[in-house]
């Protein structure tokens, strides 16, 4: 076989492939040559020419313990040597059953309470399942007037029609608005750009310096008061709204949201597709406020970044409401529901957390990240540096004292990360906010190099 040369691959890619979330004009620009990633090792990615790059976005927020991980590789190979996939319609398998018990145990709660797991393919499908289950639950249990979903401004829950409907992300969803079902939007409890926050912008996390009357909570209470009896569920990303720009919530909001759902008799659906599996510090973000949701969506890190697998965890009493008549069945699923390879790798992923004391390492590494990230405040166009666990966002503004934004078209993040590639860092941001999302296996020294590459790229593109 003649080895494929990268320029030939570039030609094939630019002729036949359509990449996700990618502008045609950027990708097809003759001056642009994409990197072809050939292999990985821990926090490093290698291209076809053998150059190494630090994976500063954990391969779009999916990778946890590193690439080419011996334990995950072993779990994958051992499972593949048995069977890759068998139908989950009317059949069962060990990896699916073992994983479901482990996932249920991740949630806070009293003994005797547990969750059922609906397996799917990714984050979007995990959310779709949650929405349909919540809706059907009320339809067939005497509360058919509950038909509306409440969700947060800026929220992002995936790209399928239902997931987009509960999302409120202008640039991603606007075009499809006529196709989406109507949902009720409530302001996001994020402090930096909050119009109610009276604090002068200072070089400190806006959540800790905020001066306000907690209007975000009042508005949530008002929305519940106004729409309560019609609500199926409140859908939210707990603590951090990723695709909204890594906006981070004031403490206490999640807890209050749970109480309001209880008072109004609707469900709380948490989208932990990004925040789950240690990303914000605890195993799940809902632990931060000791909140037990009715439904939770997991995906991204569920297989440690190895395979597409989604899981919707459903509190047992909701599952019970689908019993007693054939028509109450949840008629929903996918060809690859309960994929055996995915379940086997996810089991090993969870085992690694215990075996390698990963949550302790996350705590250490996020402490280190907090120290290192202070360097960004030295740049006059840095308006906010915010962090939750191993999620870091650096928001660039025209004027720090007024927090006046650069226009979205400035696209500083893509320019800065293009410069970072030359310094051996791969990352991604959104508009004018830079994200750093390191894998948990990142060494202190690798983290220092990530920050240095990002900071130097920032100064190159936006001289201070």
Regarding 128 and contact with ligand PLP (CB under 6 A), the answer is: no
Task: Kindly tell me which of 114 and 132 has the beta carbon lying closer to ligand PLP.
Answer: 132
Instruction: Choose between 44 and 233: whose C-beta lies nearer to ligand PLP.
Output: 233
**Closest distance of CB 257 from ligand PLP, Å:** 16
Cβ neighbours for 381, distance < 8 A, ≥ 6 positions apart: 396, 397, 398, 400, 462, 464
Q: In this structure, are residues 106 and 83 in contact, taking their beta carbons and an 8 Å threshold?
A: no
Indicate which single residue of 135, 156, 336, 435 sits in contact with ligand PLP (rule: CB under 6 A): 156
- For residue 42, give the DSSP letter: B
234-293 residues in contact with ligand PLP (CB under 6 A) are 237, 242-243, 271, 273-274
- Of 61 and 115, CB closest to ligand PLP: 61
Minimum Å distance from CB 173 to ligand PLP? 13
Rounded-to-integer distance, Cα 104 and Cα 319, Å: 13
Which residue's CB comes closest to ligand PLP? 123
Measured from the CB atom, the residue of 187 and 212 that comes closer to ligand PLP is: 187
Stretch that binds ligand PLP, among 121-129, 195-203, 222-230, 313-321 (CB under 6 A): 121-129
Q: Based on the shown chain and the rule CB under 6 A, indicate whether residue 304 belongs to the binding site for ligand PLP.
A: no
User: Segment contacting ligand PLP (CB under 6 A): 154-162, 362-370, 416-424, 446-454?
Assistant: 154-162
Cα distances from 102 to residues 294, 297, 345, 356, 364, in angstroms, run: 17, 15, 13, 17, 25
Using the minimum distance from each CB to ligand PLP, give the nearer residue, 318 or 437. 437
State the nearest-atom distance from the C-beta of 304 to ligand PLP, in Å.
Answer: 14
Count the helix, strand and coil residues of the chain and give each as a percent rounded to the nearest 5: 40, 20, 40
Binding flag, residue 299, ligand PLP (CB under 6 A): yes
Query: Which tokens in the block code for residue 187?
Result: 């302001």
Q: Residue 334: left (phi > 0), alpha (psi -120 to 50), or beta? A: beta
Site size toward ligand PLP (CB under 6 A) is 15
* Antiparallel, parallel or unpaired: β 425-426 and 52-55: parallel
Q: How far apart are CA 194 and CA 240, in angstroms?
A: 15
Q: Please identify which residue in 157, 339, 379, 386 interacts with ligand PLP, judged by CB under 6 A.
A: 157
386 neighbors 248 (Cβ within 8 angstroms): yes
Q: Can you tell me which of 79, 120, 124, 433 binds ligand PLP, judged by CB under 6 A?
A: 124
- Among candidates 382, 391, 372, which has minimal Cα distance to 439? 391
Q: Which residues bind ligand PLP (CB under 6 A)?
A: 122-124, 127, 156-158, 237, 242-243, 271, 273-274, 299-300
């Amino acid at each position: 076989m003649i080895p494929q040369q990268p320029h030939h691959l570039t030609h094939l890619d630019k002729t036949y492939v359509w990449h996700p979330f990618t502008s045609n004009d950027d990708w097809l620009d003759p001056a642009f040559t994409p990197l072809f990633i050939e292999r990985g090792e821990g926090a490093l990615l290698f291209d076809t020419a053998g150059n190494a790059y630090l994976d500063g976005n954990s391969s779009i927020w999916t990778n946890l313990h590193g690439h080419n991980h011996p334990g995950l590789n072993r779990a994958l190979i051992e499972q593949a040597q048995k069977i890759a996939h068998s139908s989950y319609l009317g059949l069962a398998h060990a990896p699916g059953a073992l994983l479901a018990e482990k996932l249920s145990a991740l949630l806070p709660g009293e003994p005797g309470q547990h969750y059922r797991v609906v397996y799917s393919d990714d984050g979007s499908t995990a959310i779709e399942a949650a929405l349909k289950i919540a809706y059907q639950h009320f339809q067939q249990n005497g509360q058919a007037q509950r038909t509306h979903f409440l969700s947060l401004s800026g929220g992002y829950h995936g790209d399928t029609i239902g997931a987009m409907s509960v999302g409120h992300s202008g640039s991603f969803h606007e075009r499809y608005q006529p196709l989406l079902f109507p949902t009720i939007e409530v302001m996001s409890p994020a402090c930096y750009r909050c119009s109610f926050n009276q604090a002068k912008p200072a070089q400190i996390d806006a959540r800790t310096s905020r001066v306000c009357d907690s209007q975000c909570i009042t508005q949530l209470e008002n929305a519940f008061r106004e729409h309560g009896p019609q609500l199926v569920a409140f859908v939210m990303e707990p603590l951090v709204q990723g695709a909204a720009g890594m906006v981070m919530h004031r403490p206490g909001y999640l807890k209050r949201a749970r109480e309001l759902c209880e008072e109004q008799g609707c469900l709380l659906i948490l989208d932990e597709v990004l925040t789950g599996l240690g990303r914000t510090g605890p195993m799940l973000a809902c632990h931060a406020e000791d909140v037990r949701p009715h439904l939770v969506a997991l995906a991204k890190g569920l297989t440690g970044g190895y395979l597409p697998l989604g899981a919707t965890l459903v509190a047992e009493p909701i599952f019970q409401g689908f019993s007693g008549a054939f028509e109450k069945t949840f008629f929903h699923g996918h060809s690859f529901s309960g994929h055996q390879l995915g379940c086997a790798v996810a089991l090993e992923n969870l085992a690694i957390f215990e075996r390698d004391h990963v949550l302790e390492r996350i705590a250490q590494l996020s402490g280190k990240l907090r120290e290192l990230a202070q360097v960004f405040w030295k740049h006059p166009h840095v308006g906010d540096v915010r962090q939750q666990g191993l999620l870091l966002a650096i928001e660039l503004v025209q004027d720090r004292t007024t927090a006046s934004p650069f226009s979205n078209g400035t696209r500083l993040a893509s320019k800065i990360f293009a410069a970072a590639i030359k310094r051996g860092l791969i990352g991604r941001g959104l508009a004018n906010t830079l994200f750093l999302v390191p894998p948990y296996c990142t060494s202190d020294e690798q983290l220092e190099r990530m920050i240095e590459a990002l900071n130097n790229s920032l100064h190159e593109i936006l001289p201070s």
